[in-house]
Structure 1
Amino acid sequence: MSEDENEIDDLQVEVAGLLLDHVYAPLLEDQHVRGVMPAPAGAPAVRVVLGDRGESEPARLTVYEIPLGSGEELRTPHDVVALLRAVHTGTHIYPSDRVSSVMGMDLYVVDPAHVKEAPFTTDDWTSTLLRCLAHPSEERSPARLRGFLFREGGLLRLYMDSEEVAGVIAADVRPGGALTALLAALPSLLGEEWRTSGSADDPHCRYLVDLTHW
């Protein structure tokens, strides 16, 4: 198996993992993910099945095939989500050679060149942040997620513990685009005293760190 084929296989695994969230939480309005399948014959694509929550009747499900390549680069799992939301919004006309059926379900092969990707939502950023904290790539992360709470104004409160600081520390963050930098810096930020404030209204932590403008 070539390196390119391995990358496609790994990406299909990542897409399937990300789309698990949308089995119960709608991907768009009333549409839920009802299946994720690797394209047959080793094609560099993934097929995603959408339908109403709990639906399994093939005639009531729709399959979208999303190519995983984008020029010389690969799409990310979030790119796939953005394309799925886009193709299921408004009216899209597919050439006859891009419409067929598989396993009793209508199948549409998506051409990303003719689709404007839907924007990343706050919920998408939040889900990504929580996933990274709950399942860190390192075997032993220097900071652990103990809990979380959605706050007013689009804020997210993280309850963390750290090798550097005793007890549970809360951190208010505003989920956004600099997640990689935030994740890397979070363990040290928890102990920066000048960022801390009292948390008299929150009995679930020792103190609160304000990272909303970090």
Structure 2
Amino acid sequence: MSEETEEIEELQADIAGLLLHLVYAPLVDDQHVRGVLPAPSAVAAVRVAVGDHGECTPDRLTAYEIPLRQGDELLTAHDVVGILRSAHTGTHIYPRSRVGSTMGITLLRVDPTTFEAAPFTPDDWSFTLMKCLAYPSTEERPAVRLRGFLFMEQGPLRLYLDSEDVSGVIAADVRPGGALTALLAALPSLLGEEWRTSDGVDDPHCRYLVDLTGW
């Protein structure tokens, strides 16, 4: 793996962790983060799905694809939040070449140079501080790393994960609740159980999908 690819993967993981609180706290007005998707491997970007609180229906969500590199520099996770807030505020005209769809969700490809990033709020900084205190970083990479997430229709939560034992991004559908501690402990081995896997043909953000909704 190249150093550049590793930097992008680490940044995607940082963004997923930073945006977790915006599932519950609004991003802007009454709009919440409903998914963070690691863009397909050929794209050095992250995709963030936004919609009403609790919304899971794809055609009621909007996803913004934000490139993670600006010139020779990588954006920070905080930069991404600021650009996302600006992109989702007010009216913006996107040329046809920058409008697409993914998994039934309208996808808008953002040009960061056309937006003035919104400032990080006191609540954002407070969350960042408390998250660092509650979950101090370690020098060792975790056995399973969160690269993104998406709330799916009918209840499952799709987690985008990677690990040192399985290459690429693997999606795992889980049902929140129940024996979460046991599930988290078992995830490293479950991701590699081929009989649980299915090709993620409807999801370009992963190599394959592991169905853990019945685990």
Matched residue, 2:116: 116
Q: Is 2:44 the partner of 1:53?
A: no
Distance between the aligned counterparts of 2:42 and 2:105, measured in 1?
20
SS in 1 for 2:41: helix
Matched residue, 1:36: 36
Letter of the structure 1 residue corresponding to residue 82 of structure 2: A
Matched residue, 1:130: 130
Aligned-residue CA RMSD (Å): 1.2
| Residue deviations 1:29-76 (CA, integer Å, cap 9, x gap) | 111111111111331000000000110111100000000012211111
Distance between the aligned counterparts of 1:102 and 1:129, measured in 2?
33
Matched residue, 1:182: none
Distance between the aligned counterparts of 2:86 and 2:138, measured in 1?
34
TM-score with structure 2 setting the length = 0.62
Matched residue, 2:79: 79
| Residue deviations 1:90-144 (CA, integer Å, cap 9, x gap) | 11111110011111111100000101100111111111111122222358xxxxx
Matched residue, 1:12: 12
Q: Is 2:62 the partner of 1:62?
A: yes
Identity %: 62
Distance between the aligned counterparts of 2:26 and 2:102, measured in 1?
23
Distance between the aligned counterparts of 2:38 and 2:18, measured in 1?
14
Distance between the aligned counterparts of 1:80 and 1:115, measured in 2?
11
TM-score with structure 1 setting the length = 0.63
Letter of the structure 2 residue corresponding to residue 14 of structure 1: D
Structure 1 residues 124 and 2: CA distance shift in structure 2, 3 A: same
Larger radius of gyration: 1
Letter of the structure 1 residue corresponding to residue 21 of structure 2: D
Distance between the aligned counterparts of 1:87 and 1:67, measured in 2?
13
Letter of the structure 2 residue corresponding to residue 58 of structure 1: P
**Equivalent residues, number:** 139
Q: Is 2:88 the partner of 1:92?
A: no
Distance between the aligned counterparts of 1:125 and 1:40, measured in 2?
29
Matched residue, 1:201: none
